A and B are shown apart, each in its own frame.
Chain A
């Protein structure tokens, strides 16, 4: 997808972006008021740019010099926003079939039946929308958007209004959707944890322009590319494989890129593949391994970057995957950390949360 958009508002705010986006999941990250929603509105057709061109493949959605502006209903862009916009006067089934029934026969590549199975919505079909939880509503909204076999899926702060535990399940679903249907996605969020968990290609939008286009690893290494506010409460979200089931100490062993971690959990896990999260504040760094502690995970790694902020340091440690640890200025001074140093991450087994 290519877009070149110039849009100026009476307030003086100007969106000026020019980007080519690949077929994977692209995240657009930026603070409130940076122009994320304006950008999505222009792509979906809710608003027209003042100048520019928007294309998906060869299809021109908007072009000021060709005087083309494809109506919203002809764009076939699935749109899922944080506002849960399911039709309240229809059942879940009618919501999902609404767009499918309007999709031309020759363009129906995905059937609602398949999506319902895929997202495990069978039990909800006859329910009225009002009886669903926030997470269920969002899953139905995703199913509804997928059922039009969209050329592009836009997700505008799609997880902002649902509780965190459920939002990670949706992220897992989004990744599954992408690997199954190969629909390009644009995921917009102001949560850096979500953005890093979902996509490899991240566009940082600030003041109406793209400041950076980085991979998730580049952002972890260059944490100072974005404002420190976004790193508070940062969660390292990782895909992991369960290598041993629960033992008598309520511990399981998981593997992330060949590195084994012990995790304390009471959940009965049905899949071998899970998502886990570790808060950046939960990772203690030590220059020497200290085994006579209660900490179950002492993981050897290498410092690959250190980002300095006003009140803390973010240290990116590679141990199979990159992990961010937030440490205080005093701790950083005491440890005298340098890029390339060997370091030990100490993580309590109950600091690693199994998400799905």
Chain B
């Protein structure tokens, strides 16, 4: 293993972790809000929330990447606004890669959290309301703690999906080592350049990362269960 390869392994691992973490952080509040509005508040535009929650699953990731490219490109209103405010282009940055990973993984986060909220007995929330808790306190002290399984599953599913994302991220982020080159993109590069050894090592790193994430999920689930006395 030469120095250059070693650098690529570490940098693509770090980029993957950073992109997946940011994608999950972007998704989490949005998925929680929409899942709550859809499952608990039964809002009128629920159908729209449901469609948004499923459509990225139905579209090929490359299409999502292409759409983001159109939306965020410098010639688009959004792209020129970002350029005007921050003086930078979003396309071909790790931010764009994170955003693409977030869009692709959103349905998994949304669905798991919706199931989590749906599993909370609404009578417990009403009981909290009669005891003086307003909607927000009820949400944070009853709904969220009791929906922890769904929220945790959403975080893990979203993170793992973002780790494995290739199509959308490569379209909006390109293949810039240390900036937008995630593990799947680095694997693709290695295969293209005929470096099978590097591809195998990077694939193993991907696998270990996914397994580690799932193990952390199980450990956290058990810890929360123990603390709650379930």
Q: Is A167 an interface residue (CB 8 A)?
A: no
Whether A103 contacts B130 in the complex (CB less than 8 A), given A81-B123, A89-B228, A130-B229, comes out as: no
Q: Is B132 an interface residue (CB 8 A)?
A: yes
| Chain B: minimal CB distance from A315 (Å) | 42
| A78 vs B174: C-alpha distance when bound (angstroms) | 60
| A75 vs B137: C-alpha distance when bound (angstroms) | 16
Q: Does B132 lie within 8 Å of A44, measured CB to CB?
A: no
| A72 vs B124: C-alpha distance when bound (angstroms) | 13
| Chain B: minimal CB distance from A39 (Å) | 16
Q: Is B191 an interface residue (CB 8 A)?
A: no
Q: Is A307 an interface residue (CB 8 A)?
A: no
Binding site for A on B (CB under 8 A): 121, 123-124, 126-134, 137, 141-142, 145-146, 228-230
Whether A72 contacts B126 in the complex (CB less than 8 A), given A85-B121, A102-B131, A102-B133, comes out as: yes
Q: Which residues of chain B are within 8 angstroms of A148 by Cβ–Cβ distance?
A: 131-132
Q: Which residues of chain A are within 8 angstroms of B131 by Cβ–Cβ distance?
A: 73, 98-99, 102, 144-145, 148
Whether A85 contacts B129 in the complex (CB less than 8 A), given A71-B134, A102-B137, A130-B229, comes out as: no
Q: Does A130 lie within 8 Å of B230, measured CB to CB?
A: yes
Q: Does A79 lie within 8 Å of B228, measured CB to CB?
A: no
Q: Is A88 an interface residue (CB 8 A)?
A: yes
Q: Which residues of chain B are within 8 angstroms of A83 by Cβ–Cβ distance?
A: 123
Q: Which residues of chain A are within 8 angstroms of B132 by Cβ–Cβ distance?
A: 73-74, 76, 99, 102-103, 148
Binding site for B on A (CB under 8 A): 44-46, 71-79, 81, 83, 85, 87-89, 91, 98-99, 102-103, 128-131, 144-145, 148
Q: Which residues of chain B are within 8 angstroms of A46 by Cβ–Cβ distance?
A: 126
Q: Which residues of chain A are within 8 angstroms of B146 by Cβ–Cβ distance?
A: 88-89
Q: Among B128, B129, B130, B137, which residue has its beta carbon within 8 angstroms of that of A87?
A: B128
Q: Which residues of chain A are within 8 angstroms of B145 by Cβ–Cβ distance?
A: 89
Q: Which residues of chain A are within 8 angstroms of B134 by Cβ–Cβ distance?
A: 71, 73
Q: Among B129, B130, B230, which residue has its beta carbon within 8 angstroms of that of A89?
A: B230
Q: Which residues of chain A are within 8 angstroms of B126 by Cβ–Cβ distance?
A: 46, 72, 79, 85
Q: Does A87 lie within 8 Å of B133, measured CB to CB?
A: no
- The 8 tightest CB contacts between A and B, nearest first, are A99-B131, A128-B229, A102-B132, A72-B129, A85-B127, A89-B228, A79-B130, A89-B145
Q: Does A85 lie within 8 Å of B124, measured CB to CB?
A: yes
| Chain B: minimal CB distance from A183 (Å) | 14
Q: Does B130 lie within 8 Å of A98, measured CB to CB?
A: no
Interface of A is mostly: mixed
| A192 vs B36: C-alpha distance when bound (angstroms) | 41
Q: Does A77 lie within 8 Å of B130, measured CB to CB?
A: yes
| Chain A: minimal CB distance from B220 (Å) | 15
Q: Which residues of chain B are within 8 angstroms of A91 by Cβ–Cβ distance?
A: 229
Q: Does A73 lie within 8 Å of B130, measured CB to CB?
A: yes
* B129 nearest in chain A by CB position: A72
**A to B CB contacts below 8 Å, 24 in the list:** A44-B130, A45-B129, A71-B134, A72-B129, A73-B129, A74-B132, A79-B130, A85-B123, A85-B127, A87-B124, A87-B128, A88-B124, A98-B128, A98-B133, A98-B141, A99-B131, A99-B132, A102-B133, A102-B137, A103-B132, A128-B229, A130-B229, A131-B229, A148-B131
| A91 vs B130: C-alpha distance when bound (angstroms) | 19
Whether A88 contacts B127 in the complex (CB less than 8 A), given A102-B133, A103-B132, comes out as: no
| A103 vs B132: C-alpha distance when bound (angstroms) | 7
**Contacts A45-B129, A73-B131, A98-B128 given; 10 further ones with Cβ under 8 A?**
A46-B126, A71-B129, A72-B129, A81-B123, A83-B123, A98-B133, A102-B137, A128-B229, A129-B229, A130-B229
Most buried by A among B129, B131, B146: B131
Q: Which residues of chain B are within 8 angstroms of A145 by Cβ–Cβ distance?
A: 130-131
Q: Which residues of chain B are within 8 angstroms of A87 by Cβ–Cβ distance?
A: 124, 127-128, 142
| Chain A: minimal CB distance from B163 (Å) | 30
| A77 vs B131: C-alpha distance when bound (angstroms) | 8
Q: Which residues of chain B are within 8 angstroms of A77 by Cβ–Cβ distance?
A: 130
| Chain A: minimal CB distance from B62 (Å) | 43
| Chain B: minimal CB distance from A76 (Å) | 7
* B146 nearest in chain A by CB position: A89
Q: Which residues of chain A are within 8 angstroms of B137 by Cβ–Cβ distance?
A: 102
Q: Does A73 lie within 8 Å of B133, measured CB to CB?
A: yes
| A72 vs B134: C-alpha distance when bound (angstroms) | 8
| A46 vs B126: C-alpha distance when bound (angstroms) | 8
Q: Which residues of chain B are within 8 angstroms of A76 by Cβ–Cβ distance?
A: 132
| A147 vs B159: C-alpha distance when bound (angstroms) | 43
Q: Which residues of chain B are within 8 angstroms of A89 by Cβ–Cβ distance?
A: 145-146, 228-230
